[in-house]
Structure 1
Amino acid sequence: MSTGERGPILLILSAALMAGAGNGISIIAFPWLVLQRNGSALEASVVAMAATLPLLVATLFAGAAVDYLGRRRVSMISDLLSGLSVAAVPVIALTFGVEAVNVAVLATLAALGAFFDPAGMTARETMLPEAAARAGWTLDKANSYYEAVFNLAYIVGPGIGGLLIATLGGVNTMWVTAATFAVSIGLIAALRLAGAGVPDRTELPDRVWAGIVEGLRFVWNLRVLRVLALIDLVVVGLYMPMESVLFPKYFTDRDEPAQLGWVLMALSLGGLVGALGYAVTSRFVNRRATMLAAVLTLGATMTVIAFLPPLPLILAMAAIGGFAYGPIQPIYNYVMQTRAPQHLRGRVVGVMGSLAYAAGPVGLIVAGPLADSAGLRTTFLALSIPMLLLGLVAVFLPTLRDLDEPVTPPD
Structure 2
Amino acid sequence: MKTKLANWKEPVLLLTSVGIAGIGDFIYLVAINILVFQMTGSAAAVAGLWIIGPAVNILTKFWTGSFIDYRSKRKIMIVTYLARAFFIFLIPFAPNIGFVYLILIFLSIAKAFFTPSSTTYITQLIPRHMRKRYNSIQSFTTSGAFIIGPAIGGTLILMSSVATTLFHGRFYPLHSDLRF
Task: Give the TM bin, normalised by the shorter chain.
Answer: 0.7 to 0.9
Is 1:68 matched with 2:107? Answer: no
Residue type matched to 1:24 in 2? F
- What do the CA deviations read for 1:187-207 (whole angstroms, capped 9, x no partner)? 23421xxxxxxxxxxxxxxxx
Is 1:11 matched with 2:13? Answer: yes
Give the direction of change, closer, same or farther, for the CA distance of 1:31–1:82 in structure 2 (3 Å limit): same
- 2:146 corresponding residue in structure 1: 154
Between Structure 1 and Structure 2, whose CA radius of gyration is higher?
1
- What do the CA deviations read for 1:278-304 (whole angstroms, capped 9, x no partner)? xxxxxxxxxxxxxxxxxxxxxxxxxxx
Residue type matched to 2:118 in 1? R
Is 1:127 matched with 2:127? Answer: no
Give the direction of change, closer, same or farther, for the CA distance of 1:149–1:120 in structure 2 (3 Å limit): farther
Residue type matched to 1:143 in 2? N
Structure 1 residues 258-273: aligned runs within 5 Å: none
Residue type matched to 2:155 in 1? L
Q: Which moved more, 1:24-33 or 1:114-123?
A: 114-123
CA–CA separation in structure 1 for the residues paired with 2:100 and 2:47: 12
- 2:36 corresponding residue in structure 1: 34
Residue type matched to 2:74 in 1? R
- In structure 1, runs of 5+ residues without a counterpart are 94-99, 192-411
CA–CA separation in structure 1 for the residues paired with 2:28 and 2:178: 24
% identical aligned pairs: 20
Give the direction of change, closer, same or farther, for the CA distance of 1:37–1:189 in structure 2 (3 Å limit): closer
CA–CA separation in structure 1 for the residues paired with 2:14 and 2:158: 31
CA–CA separation in structure 2 for the residues paired with 1:7 and 1:80: 25
In the TM superposition, residue 142 of structure 1 has moved relative to its aligned partner by: 2.0
Residue type matched to 1:16 in 2? V
- What do the CA deviations read for 1:97-130 (whole angstroms, capped 9, x no partner)? xxx2x21122112222122123323222223334
In the TM superposition, residue 2 of structure 1 has moved relative to its aligned partner by: 4.0
Give the direction of change, closer, same or farther, for the CA distance of 1:81–1:60 in structure 2 (3 Å limit): farther
In the TM superposition, residue 21 of structure 1 has moved relative to its aligned partner by: 2.1
SS at structure 2 position matched to 1:127: helix
Runs of 4+ in 1 over 4 A off after TM superposition: none
SS at structure 2 position matched to 1:52: helix
Cα pair 1:72 1:188 within 8 Å, conserved: no
CA–CA separation in structure 1 for the residues paired with 2:138 and 2:46: 30
Give the direction of change, closer, same or farther, for the CA distance of 1:121–1:11 in structure 2 (3 Å limit): farther
**Which of structures 1 and 2 has the larger relative contact order (alpha carbons within 8 angstroms, sep 6+)?**
2
In the TM superposition, residue 7 of structure 1 has moved relative to its aligned partner by: 2.1
Residue type matched to 1:188 in 2? D
Cα pair 1:75 1:188 within 8 Å, conserved: no
CA–CA separation in structure 1 for the residues paired with 2:124 and 2:163: 39
RMSD of aligned alpha carbons = 2.3
In the TM superposition, residue 47 of structure 1 has moved relative to its aligned partner by: 2.7
Cα pair 2:28 2:170 within 8 Å, conserved: no
In the TM superposition, residue 81 of structure 1 has moved relative to its aligned partner by: 0.7
- 2:109 corresponding residue in structure 1: 115
- In structure 2, runs of 5+ residues without a counterpart are none
Give the direction of change, closer, same or farther, for the CA distance of 1:14–1:87 in structure 2 (3 Å limit): same
Structure-2-length-normalised TM-score: 0.84
Structure 1 residues 237-386: aligned runs within 5 Å: none
CA–CA separation in structure 1 for the residues paired with 2:37 and 2:89: 20
Structure-1-length-normalised TM-score: 0.40
Structure 1 residues 81-230: aligned runs within 5 Å: 81-90=83-92, 92=93, 100=95, 102-133=96-127, 136-137=129-130, 139-180=131-172, 183-184=174-175, 187-191=176-180
In the TM superposition, residue 80 of structure 1 has moved relative to its aligned partner by: 0.5
CA–CA separation in structure 2 for the residues paired with 1:19 and 1:70: 21
CA–CA separation in structure 1 for the residues paired with 2:19 and 2:38: 29
- What do the CA deviations read for 1:256-314 (whole angstroms, capped 9, x no partner)? xxxxxxxxxxxxxxxxxxxxxxxxxxxxxxxxxxxxxxxxxxxxxxxxxxxxxxxxxxx
Cα pair 2:28 2:169 within 8 Å, conserved: yes
CA–CA separation in structure 1 for the residues paired with 2:31 and 2:132: 33
CA–CA separation in structure 1 for the residues paired with 2:61 and 2:20: 20
CA–CA separation in structure 2 for the residues paired with 1:155 and 1:175: 20
In the TM superposition, residue 50 of structure 1 has moved relative to its aligned partner by: 2.4
Give the direction of change, closer, same or farther, for the CA distance of 1:180–1:126 in structure 2 (3 Å limit): farther
